[in-house]
Structure formats: C-alpha cells, structure tokens
C-alpha cells in the first residue's frame, strides 16, 4: 500500500491552521521548507487568502530582526480561503 505524504503546500496550510501563522524560520526548522515565499505564491494562486505582516523577533544568535509572518486573512482582511481551493 502506497502512503501519500502531504505536499509542502499542505504542510504549510496545516501549520498555519494549527499555529495561526508561519515564518521562514519555522518553515525551515519544522517543515523542511526552504522557499516559503514561493509556496505562499502557489497557495495564493490556488485561491487561498494569505496575508503577510512584518513581526519583530530574534535570529538564532539572539539579535533583533524583522521577519515576514504569513497567516490566513481574518474577517477584517476578508475571506480566509477560496471555496474552490484544494
């Protein structure tokens, strides 16, 4: 029996569902996805309403940085996803 592994896009959607958003570092550390903006582009192209925002954080050396965090749009932003999206 062949077991189907979730795609990178599906892993991103699941992560955002569970944690409310995702940054590049989280995608790399927890999902082994190194090109998050490309996958977000794909998801938006499929109809998912994903917005980005700058957030303050620290890099792995403890230095302050600003990073993009991607999340589903909320009521204030509009609909979360297209009904026809996969």
As a whole number of angstroms, the distance between CA 56 and CA 1 comes to 45
- The domains of the chain are located at 8-72
* Tens of pLDDT, residues 19-75: 999 999 999 999 999 999 999 999 999 999 999 999 999 988 999 999 999 999 986
Provide the pLDDT confidence category of residue 84 given band limits of 50, 70 and 90: very low
Phi-psi region of 6 (alpha: psi -120 to 50; beta: other; left: phi over 0): beta
Other Cβ atoms closer than 10 A to 77: 12
Fold annotation for 8-72: Arc Repressor Mutant, subunit A (1.10.10)
């Amino acid at each position: 029996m062949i077991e189907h592994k979730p795609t990178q896009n599906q892993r991103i959607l699941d992560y955002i569902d569970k944690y409310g958003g995702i940054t590049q570092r989280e995608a790399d550390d927890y999902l082994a996805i190194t090109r998050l903006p490309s996958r977000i582009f794909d998801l938006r192209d499929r109809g998912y309403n994903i917005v980005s925002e700058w957030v303050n954080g620290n890099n792995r050396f403890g230095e302050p940085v600003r990073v993009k965090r991607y999340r589903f749009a909320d009521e204030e932003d509009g609909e979360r996803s297209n009904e026809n999206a996969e």
